[in-house]
Amino acid sequence: MREQYFIPFLLLFIILFTATGVGNGSTFRSIAVIFDKEQAGPVLGWTSAIAAYGAFIIPQVFGEQIKATTPEYALYGFAIFYFVCLLLNWWFYTRKNAYIQNP
């Protein structure tokens, strides 16, 4: 019975990892476009540090929510966070009248 869910599971994880890679690459590429040469290096370092912290905090949150038997709250929270990030990026960098136009 559980075997029927393997293909959708696999496809969703392939989509998830592809989207994560595209998002990661576009974030670091955008830094070089948005900031001048003197600022780009420190911003890249700071962004890398925050990204590394995410690799720690996300499993922690999932672990706590699994212990509380409510892992769906973590998923909803992360989905809301990523949607807000998407809106902020659109507002500041890709909308028609944005101050900095990021291609």
Q: Into how many domains does the chain fold?
A: 1
- Asked if residue 103 belongs to a domain, the reply is no
pLDDT computed for residue 1 by the predictor = 67
- Taking the C-alpha atoms of residue 24 and residue 54, their distance in angstroms, rounded to an integer, is 12
Q: Give the model confidence (pLDDT) of 62-75 as tens digits.
A: 899 999 999 889 88
The parent domain of residue 29 ranges over: 2-94
pTM: 0.70
Could you tell me if 40 and 32 are in contact, meaning their C-beta atoms sit under 8 angstroms apart?
A: yes
**Confidence check: pLDDT of 92 > 70:** yes
- Asked if residue 6 belongs to a domain, the reply is yes
pLDDT computed for residue 69 by the predictor = 92
**Confidence check: pLDDT of 43 > 90:** yes
- Asked if residue 100 belongs to a domain, the reply is no
Q: Give the model confidence (pLDDT) of 6-16 as tens digits.
A: 898 889 888 88
Provide the CB-side half-sphere exposure for 45 (13 A, CA).
Answer: 4
Amino acid identity, position 32: A
> What share of the chain has pLDDT > 70, as a percent?
97
